Amino acid sequence: MWDYINQKFILPIESKKWVMQALCRAWKKYKGEVKQNHFMKYKTTKRMLKNRPLEIPEVQFRKLIRYWHLPEIKAMSAKNIENRSKQTCPHRTGSTGFGIVHKQLRDSKENNEEPSRAEIFTVTRTSRKGKEIDPKSQSTIDELTSRIEVG
């Protein structure tokens, strides 16, 4: 993919990591959209094939449908759905890793003091765009703040 992109654009080698990460995110998003819009939406294979994305050849889409119907893939998908449903306080950092957030917090403090878990929780659950926080996250942040004040 890197070679293909360099045929179209002139990019420095330093941008390779960023470009490849962007491609990975875009590919993952695309796969999710295909599954949601062309597999989950329909009950029968016949309807799935009738409504398949035109950019995917029918032969390949049939293989994809068979893959998604495998018991171990269904089990893995169900497990992932279950695990996501258990998350009560979703973070708002997007693709920014918690390690980066941790380093930024540490660098912003005097003496490069390590941030507490409560500080990291608060920063990663608070919207920087001024959007409302979900009630569970807000109550947890309030609880942490009051406990810190009490000592």
The answer on 134 and 73 residing in a single domain is no
CA distances from 79 to 43, 82, 115 (A): 21, 5, 33
Among candidates 16, 18, 48, which has minimal Cα distance to 34? 48
User: Does the reported pTM lie above 0.75?
Assistant: no
- Quick check: is 66 in a domain? yes
Q: Calculate what percentage of the chain has a pLDDT beyond 90.
A: 57
26-74: pLDDT as tens digits: 999 999 999 999 999 999 999 999 999 999 999 999 999 999 999 999 9
The answer on 111 and 72 residing in a single domain is no
The two tokens of residue 14 are: 């330093």
- Quick check: is 45 in a domain? yes
How many folded domains does the chain comprise? 2
Structural domain for 28, as ranges? 2-86
